[in-house]
Amino acid sequence: MVEKRVCTADQAVSDISDGAVVMIGGFAAPGVPEELVKALLRHAPHRLTTISNGAHGRRSEVWDAAKLVEAGLVARCISSFPVTGGASEHNAVEAQYLQGQLDVIVIPQGTLSEQIRAGGAGIPAFWVPTGVGTAFEEGKEKRLFSGKAHLLEHALTADFALIKASKADTLGNLVYDKVQRNFGPTMATAAQITIAEVGEIVQPGEIPSDSIITPGIYIDRLVIAEGHGANSE
């Protein structure tokens, strides 16, 4: 295997252009690649589509997709939790949606996870019972399987995936710290270019092969971030 490019966060995101589709890992705080998000804010491409589990708004100390929305860089936000309880009056996602400035697509969390997994596996679409009889079924094809209604959901892919892991080797093989392992492993498979923010880079063989979660074949760039473990749990 080829050793991966190790670069700064700013270098890693420098070719993310206007209109790009960007997946951002994380579940609440754990697993959010905050240094990469900060670098993307400095780079400031516009009309982005973000795909993430959540976007936690101005009150949050987490540098996630909401920070990109606040900066006016996002045209479409695809998320399971674009607005969090108790902070809606300060949430840029909600405010821009209500003003007609942002397209927000809310997807049930399990469905979102499977859409990303399907995108990485080359599966164009799949059937799920989730959302039947609710607003989630509007505009979707519906069929009965074994007498139970299912909705057709389409896979999600991206131009870039920004993810976080605790450690990588120079070949790009990744391991994660506890719940830091959430959407990162599947997002890594579903993007054309995957950038991993890690706390440490070691030599091949220093990570036991049975501990590797994301194989290096899915990783294109590595970024070492200071203070990396702050939101691992």
Determine the Cα–Cα distance for residues 4 and 216; give it in Å rounded to an integer.
Answer: 8
Mean pLDDT lowest for which of 46-50, 83-87, 102-106, 172-176? 83-87
- Does residue 205 lie within any of the structural domains? yes
For position 57, what pLDDT does the model report?
54
- CB neighbours (10 Å) of residue 28? 17
Determine the Cα–Cα distance for residues 36 and 131; give it in Å rounded to an integer.
Answer: 33
- Does residue 202 lie within any of the structural domains? yes
- Does residue 142 lie within any of the structural domains? no
Instruction: Render pLDDT for 29-58 as a digit per residue (tens, 0 to 9).
Output: 888 999 999 999 999 999 999 999 987 655
- Does residue 68 lie within any of the structural domains? yes
- Does residue 233 lie within any of the structural domains? no
For position 25, what pLDDT does the model report?
95
Would you say residue 195 has pLDDT above 50? Answer: yes
**Range(s) of the domain holding residue 82:** 5-121+158-225
Q: Structural domain tally of the chain?
A: 1
* CATH code of the domain in which 26 resides: 3.40.1080.10
**CA-based nearest residue to 96, from 137, 128, 57:** 57
Q: Answer whether 0.85 is exceeded by the pTM.
A: yes
- Does residue 77 lie within any of the structural domains? yes
How is the chain split among helix, strand and coil, in percent rounded to 5? Answer: 30, 30, 45
Query: What mean pLDDT is predicted for residues 158-174?
Result: 97
Query: What mean pLDDT is predicted for residues 133-139?
Result: 94
